[in-house]
Chains A and B, each alone.
Chain A
Amino acid sequence: AQKVTQAQTEISVVEKEDVTLDCVYETRDTTYYLFWYKQPPSGELVFLIRRNSFDEQNEISGRYSWNFQKSTSSFNFTITASQVVDSAVYFCAWNTGNQFYFGTGTSLTVIP
């Protein structure tokens, strides 16, 4: 069965600390996509990144970086030098074909 697990329910960090959000997925498919979304208090999900199963290169975008490792079925997300504006719920998602499967989310609070 397809599944996405975000074991960290809530994380609190002090501003400027680095934080890593974990995501583990289960699949037997060889072709699939992985995603991260941010849901601020307003509620709208914001797309952050997409990765396909054939591309294990790490990605960096400003303070955000993603580490995709097929050997451990993980797609972790690191925020460097966290800021208060990073406070949100972050969802990892998996897709092959027409359906998307979301983890239960990690609620990040950055304390000023």
Chain B
Amino acid sequence: DGGITQSPKYLFRKEGQNVTLSCEQNLNHDAMYWYRQDPGQGLRLIYYSQIVNDFQKGDIAEGYSVSREKKESFPLTVTSAQKNPTAFYLCASSMTSGHYSYEQYFGPGTRLTVT
């Protein structure tokens, strides 16, 4: 089955700790994305990557870091510098054609709670 996996589904951390969220896709998509969703809100882009070893900041990158060492993997680290990290995190991937990206496919999400 092709798709995107995110683990774990629920994650609890103490304030001041870094935490890494996993995202893996077997759709052979070039582009991958990380979004944050707060209750009652839309999706806000954290980082995106069009190719391996390259990524760009989105609208709310502060306090987050990513890596893209393999095409199928795009882990997100929530650092202690992120002031309000408790949120629902969604990973997505899409095919690309030249300058454009096609529809995104999303993983099931990770709900992070920091206390």
* Residues in A lying within 8 Å of B, measured CB to CB: 31, 33, 35, 37, 42-47, 50, 91, 95-100, 102-105
B56: A residues at CB distance < 8 A: 98
Total number of B residues with any Cβ neighbor in A under 8 Å: 26
Contact mask for chain B residues 65-83; partner A; CB cutoff 8 A; 1 contact, 0 none = 0000000000000000000
* Residues in B lying within 8 Å of A, measured CB to CB: 31, 33, 41-43, 45, 48, 50, 56, 58, 88, 90, 92, 96, 99-109, 111
Distance in Å: Cβ of A40 to nearest Cβ of chain B: 11
The B interface is mostly helix, strand or loop, or mixed, namely strand
B45: A residues at CB distance < 8 A: 99-100
A97: B residues at CB distance < 8 A: 99-101
Known contacts A97-B100, A97-B101, A98-B50, A44 near B107 by CB under 8 Å:
yes
Q: For the complex, what is the distance from the CA of A37 to the CA of B109, rounded to whole Å?
A: 15
Contact A98 B31 (CB under 8 A): yes
Q: For the complex, what is the distance from the CA of A51 to the CA of B23, rounded to whole Å?
A: 27
Distance in Å: Cβ of B3 to nearest Cβ of chain A: 10
A-B contact pairs, 24 of them (CB 8 A): A35-B103, A43-B90, A44-B106, A44-B108, A45-B43, A45-B90, A47-B105, A47-B106, A50-B102, A91-B42, A91-B43, A95-B101, A97-B99, A97-B100, A98-B31, A98-B50, A98-B99, A98-B101, A99-B48, A99-B58, A100-B33, A100-B104, A102-B43, A104-B41
